[in-house]
Amino acid sequence: MKNRSLVSISDYSANEIRQILDLAADFEDNPNQRLLTGSVIASLFFEPSTRTRLSFESAINRLGGRVIGFSEASSSSVSKGETLKDTILTVSNYSDLIVMRHPLEGSAKYASEVSPVPVVNAGDGAHQHPTQTLLDLYSIQKTQGTLENLNICMIGDLKYGRTVHSLLMAMSHFNPVFNFIAPDELKMPDEYKLFLDNKGIKYYEHTDMDDNLNYADITYMTRVQRERFADPVEYEKVKNVFILRNEMLNETKDNMRILHPLPRVNEINIDVDPNPKAYYFTQALNGVYTRMAIIAKILGVK
């Protein structure tokens, strides 16, 4: 992992994923370790973010490093027409690692190819969000005691939701069964189903929730990604198609936990929040420890 970019979750083997999760647990036990004194990390967010950007910044601060960057493209010279390549080449002069979120699929891979310093993909369009996946895996392991043989129910926008794409690929190392619940317009794309077919992983597709929640170990809710729709009318048709309510959890398994990458809009009713099965805010906290581990591994300080 040392000095390697993280563009897709497929960049990491099962063994490397386990190393990250073990190190994240170490940081959770002891979150203030000044391993990055003298290091500068660039945080380039061309798209809005609360959790990813701030948990990365929190992770860097806890490790004793310094952060430079911007939280919107309009405050950078991209707004004057500067290319992504020129931006990356410039910022790499100022930093040891670049964390980047960008609306274009493939932008992280491109940035990693032109950058002399490692690049961490903090989300590229509807493609991948590998650091979210590592914190999701950490959350799954913490709540289930294992990553193996779990029933994972993914609900909502499985077409544009990059977090489900990355999570599906990562979980394929651990023999899961998936239930995909989405309206026809937002079904899991064929390329990811083909990926599962090639690995012999079972999945089932549904257009309503029925009793599928009752078999799940993990219920992974997602927001309908308004910003990816070309036609606002199409968004209006599907925006509230699945709403999880507390009463729907009565028959679910005791160990079942609800994850959501957040932000949520309407897809989890607030009456779910006090239920002990609601794990999404702790999941967001886990992002700090997991991102500490990712940075420490890439910069070779652990």
Residues near ligand CP, by CB under 6 A: 49-52, 123, 132, 261-263
Q: Which is nearer to ligand CP, 52 or 172 (CB)?
A: 52
User: Which of these, 243, 240, 300, 294, lies nearest to 268 by C-alpha position?
Assistant: 243
Q: How far is the CB of 125 from ligand CP (least distance, A)?
A: 13
Q: From its phi and psi, is residue 145 left (phi > 0), alpha (psi between -120 and 50) or beta?
A: left
Distances, alpha carbon 43 to alpha carbons 56, 125, 173, 204, in Å = 8, 17, 30, 38
Quick one: which of 182, 243, 188, 187 has its CA closest to 207?
Answer: 182
Shortest distance in whole angstroms from residue 120 CB to ligand CP: 13
User: What stretch of H or E contains 130?
Assistant: helix 130-144
Nearer to ligand CP, 69 or 123 (CB): 123
Peptide bond just before 263 cis, omega within 30 deg: yes
Nearer to ligand CP, 2 or 226 (CB): 226
Taking the least distance from each CB to ligand CP, the nearer of 159 and 201 is 159
* Closer by beta carbon to ligand CP, 8 or else 132: 132
Least distance from ligand CP to the Cβ atom of residue 52, Å: 3
Q: CB of 227: closest distance to ligand CP in angstroms? A: 10
Q: What is the DSSP letter of 188?
A: P
- Residue 94 CA, chain-centre distance (Å), reads 26
Least distance CB 189 / ligand CP (angstroms): 19
Beta carbons of 263 and 156 less than 8 angstroms apart: no
Question: How do 218-221 and 257-259 pair as beta strands?
Answer: parallel
Kindly tell me which of 56 and 252 has the beta carbon lying closer to ligand CP: 56
Residue 2 CB, nearest distance to ligand CP (Å)?
25
